[in-house]
Amino acid sequence: MKLGITGTRNGFTKNQLNSFKTVFKDLQKEGVEEFHQGQCIGVDVESAEWINTFTKGAIPIHSHPPLKQELVGECHVDVTYPKKNYFARNRDIVHASDILIACTPTEVEQPTGGTWYTYRYAVDKGHKVILITPSGKVSYHNF
């Protein structure tokens, strides 16, 4: 399976990270073949680095970088796609993934923000989405 992530530039909360690790380990039992992320500081880079370390590089990390470089972070990457604006590259991550993990910056859905936009886009398109809120609460959509 191909796994993607969207999340806040502020990074994981402690509870979010713990839930992310649990969710990833469960998904890995089903066979994760690729990991797609947006190459920004925060959740993108933190998740890619953790997966690369945890799997000892066994899962290729795919980067979908933004055009604007001020929030780009450094992490191990195996495949890099062309730079695009934030919304376009977020849609690319959704379409490249069988399951999207959305690590939101708030407990309650907000009308603005890239993470919430990407979550709504994926759900509206019928993609499988695992939502992890800052408290670590996990919910499944379109499963």
Cα angle 33, 28, 138; round to 5 = 120
Neighbouring residues of 56: CB distance < 8 A, sequence distance ≥ 6 = none
Tally of CB atoms within 10 A around 57: 12
The tokens describing 54, both together, are: 């945890």
> pLDDT per position in the chain (143 positions), as tens?
999 999 999 999 999 999 999 999 999 999 999 999 999 999 999 999 999 999 999 999 999 999 999 999 999 999 999 999 999 999 999 999 999 999 999 999 999 999 999 999 999 999 999 999 999 999 999 99
